[in-house]
Chains A and B, each alone.
Chain A
């Protein structure tokens, strides 16, 4: 039993969903999503028992490419995030009717497949293929099933597609360069390369462009808000919940260990960039009129902090970043789902058109508030654990980084509470707001339960990721 099973389940699931027809598609997709989640939990168990669940097979001999799926703690954590969020996301869409839903759900599973592959691949080219593969489904999902004016949407989505694709091409160049030196794309072989500082700098920058666009870090974020707004909520969830983490994960897995000298040399610049993103994203979020756009900018702020954490090159920074990634994945999915729930009833995403919802549906309001608070990292939620660790690592580098990064605590509370106030509180809205359905409630409750559980007891995840992060750190600190 090894991790390729999950990829197979997801891929087969995608095909089965497509063949199942429009009526059954959502259920079939949900079933396969659950199967993948279950399977990954079983695999996690195997992994924790010390079994080898990696999968390596020669794929193409000339050039030397292997189908290498390596599962260490970090990959398993990200894989779990993907496979657990996928059924949640699918489940959250049950209230909606999509045209041609068989393709829609098949694309979701396919995207999940590609993202899981990205998290697992330990061969450069295989990783690159998965990385790019994940872009295709989201392109179609956002383009076909998105909302708003079709022309505008096309513009935003095509921009996103070309932007990210162009960034990743530099990564491919870096891989090809390293292949010429190493004769293999395998991560272990690439680690063994003795690259000079200049070479490392170029490789680092090439990777950085790909990741900075994907994460996104300022000033490469311009695709984000528009695509988040235009994409259907399921697409936004996939994008913000999982796909962003692909970039952050890749920073840890590929960029830092492959070009440690450059990373150390220019650490401050990149931390600064991340923190600038925190402040910038928070301030821009303040005056957003569209709920989804606001969440997009809040996401920008949060990933800025995570990225800053990764570039500290300390165990705390990496660990905090991974914790925060997972936490943010859940929170942001929850928040976008909340936006969707409101949209289902009011047909609007403009915050100004909401308000006065609380008196109609206290249950929903409480869940929304909890998600808002989790997003601003209230202690006892998972996000606090991540944010605290990241900020601590920043303060290890320089206390001012922690202070500036810590402004997210203040500004985050400001824009989130302001949004909450105008969206939910105030005089009872004249429009009727139907109470949440069972599906909606169950989705939110699951997310909230995860957030609180790991907020109080993050030890399992910490124990899972720490050894592999330490391994990566030894790679980063190796002497060439």
Chain B
């Protein structure tokens, strides 16, 4: 029963994908939309069933289908593990997935390749489910690479634009750099423990008496590189802002709520491993904090509405990694969930705005949309308040916990994270003010067509806004349902170490005040002074560096891409020719020797006879005298 249901859970989106791929055109738009959405909704329904079941039984469900890959010292089976963690992840993957499918019906309605879009989305959900429920690292790796593929396909959905294709390619390749790290980590774990199965790995690590710490750390570090690639951490984060080339629902689903959290999922899944390697943990924490800060600073000056959200995502992911690095996995998971709600809401809201403005993404050409699009405005405002950490919204609880943990472990990290969250509040409200307040700065024609989006778009927004408001309830300070729920996975709770005391309340207050200061600054600058960001060419000073994202893309281009291309040209034109002429040279030498040798055979009978006689002498003397 469970096996069958798990298969339904997994293959419903895949079936949707197959139907949309093969019959999408014949079915027509509305049918393919319905099938696409329904297939994910079915998964969601099954997930709820499993969720209810596991909430009662507290028993993980393990399903082994068949042997997949065989290595000399172990076998990798194709199996699934449905436990608290994976079901939790499934809940928001399929839940938000369904909402975004619903949203896409309206958003993508005018696109001629509607069925392809839904097919890709379904395929993504399928791979994401595989990633989450795989019972070992290699099955997870199928999903891991699969979601990368879908991300590639969806970023490059409008394939006629080569810039989008470049962005898609970049995303795939950067992900693959991380994937190599992940594979190396898998190899090392394979050598060390002869298994890739989570459960066996856990017992093996727990039961091992003399662990090779060097290799263990290497494995953890390699896995972390994999997580960096997928979750857009320094140094592999540059693909995520570019990935905004894809349709907005894609950005919401893949590049905000689900796929980018895969790295966090993996590290949480292997918490028993990372707990043993404090060095790697501190690397993770530092990388997370730095990413949070760097991305936030870049986000301060971006003018593309989706770019701001993208950097905000990177920044938030950095905060999650900070929590992971500090061993507070449950806090990271909590933030993943709340972030999924409010960030999906923000992206979908921005999509709604872009939809209304017929594809305009530059905030300098927006403004004053409050009246025209009230629902979008209110939902986005709620989400912005949540992300800024305003009390009683979900983001407040999760972010605050991260800051608390940081404060308890390392004050500098806490400072960095706090600065990042103040910046977050600032740029989010900069976005809000520029988009929805003041006067409309676009063309007259756009102004004329301003309208609230249809209900299929606003419904998901409302649902997500509600979730962004109340999402914090799952883990209230003091009494955390989430922590209890996750106990089988995470036996040591980092956040449980501290109780609410004066320090904690003070920290909360600092965070809240910080958030409000950020909002206030944005209000002062963009409402009171009524500033509009300058044109690209007029940006100067440090903000130019920020606007150009610290020139990281250019630096990578100069360090990696250009040298490889130059090397390729060098190999192609010089080395290949040299090797080729070496072989031809060998032929030429042979030819030359033969040409010279030909001269001996000049046809002179006299010479022939002389050689003949000498040869005769040689042979005769060899035969008779050589004994």
A: residues with CB less than 8 A from B are 159, 162-163, 218-219, 221-223, 225, 280, 283-288, 314-316, 319, 356, 358-359, 362, 366, 373, 378-380, 385, 388-389, 391-392, 395-396, 399, 402-403, 406-407, 409-411, 413-414, 417-418, 421, 425-428, 456-459, 462, 466
Contact = CB atoms under 8 A, between A and B. Distances in A.
B571 A283 contact: yes
Interface of B: 21, 66-72, 78, 116, 138, 141-142, 144-146, 149, 152, 156, 159-160, 162, 165-166, 169, 172-173, 176-177, 179-180, 183-184, 187-188, 190-191, 218, 564-565, 567-569, 571-572, 575-576, 579-580, 582-584, 587
Given A287-B565, A402-B184, A409 B141 contact: no
7 contacts: A163-B583, A284-B575, A286-B564, A287-B568, A388-B69, A425-B156, A458-B70
What does DSSP make chain B's interface, helix, strand, loop or mixed? helix
A359 B116 CA distance: 12
A159 B569 CA distance: 24
B72 A314 contact: yes
Contacts of B138: 379, 388
Given A285-B568, A359-B159, A457-B66, 18 more contacts: A159-B583, A163-B583, A222-B576, A225-B576, A284-B576, A286-B568, A316-B72, A362-B116, A380-B142, A389-B69, A395-B188, A399-B184, A399-B218, A409-B180, A414-B169, A414-B564, A421-B166, A466-B70
A393 B70 CA distance: 12
Contact of B149 (A359, A373, A459, A466): A373
A358 B165 CA distance: 13
B204 to A, nearest CB: 18
A421 B145 contact: no
A373 B72 CA distance: 27
A418 B70 contact: no
Given A159-B583, A362-B116, A392-B187, A286 B71 contact: no
Given A287-B568, A410-B173, A426 B183 contact: no
B159 A425 contact: yes
Given A222-B576, A280-B571, A417 B72 contact: no
Given A283-B567, A287-B572, A457-B66, A421 B188 contact: no
A456 B78 contact: yes
Given A406-B184, A425-B159, A392 B173 contact: no
Contacts of A458: 68-70
Contacts, number: 137
Contacts of A427: 160
Contacts of B162: 421, 425-426
A396 B191 contact: yes
A399 B567 contact: no
A403 B184 contact: yes
A457 B584 CA distance: 46
Q: Which 3 A-B pairs have the closest CB atoms?
A: A395-B187, A286-B568, A379-B142
B180 A403 contact: yes
A395 B191 contact: yes
Contacts of A392: 71, 187, 190
A459 B66 contact: yes
What does DSSP make chain A's interface, helix, strand, loop or mixed? helix
Contacts of A319: 70, 72
A410 B583 contact: no
Contacts of B584: 159
A389 B71 contact: yes
A222 to B, nearest CB: 4
B183 A358 contact: no
B71 A316 contact: yes
A260 B177 CA distance: 36
Most buried by A among B70, B144, B156, B184: B70
Contacts of A163: 583
A221 B582 CA distance: 12
A359 B183 CA distance: 35
Contacts of B173: 410, 413-414, 417
B180 to A, nearest CB: 5
A395 to B, nearest CB: 4
Given A284-B568, A413-B176, A222 B579 contact: yes
A426 B159 contact: yes
Nearest to B573: A287
A462 B70 contact: yes
A266 to B, nearest CB: 22
Nearest to A221: B579
B182 to A, nearest CB: 10
B564 A283 contact: yes
Contact of B579 (A162, A219, A413): A219
Contact of B67 (A223, A284, A459): A459
A410 B72 CA distance: 26
B187 A391 contact: yes
A379 B145 contact: yes
A409 B69 contact: no
Nearest to B160: A427
A273 B165 CA distance: 34
Contacts of B70: 319, 458-459, 462, 466
Contacts of A314: 72
B133 to A, nearest CB: 15
A409 B175 CA distance: 10
A406 B66 CA distance: 27
A405 B158 CA distance: 34
A350 to B, nearest CB: 15
Contact of B176 (A223, A396, A399, A409): A409
Given A407-B180, A425-B156, A456-B78, A378 B583 contact: no
Contact of A388 (B165, B183, B571): B183
A388 B187 CA distance: 9
A283 B587 CA distance: 28
B571 A379 contact: no
Nearest to A400: B184
Contact of A456 (B68, B156, B564): B68
B569 A287 contact: yes
B566 to A, nearest CB: 9
Contacts of A388: 69, 138, 183
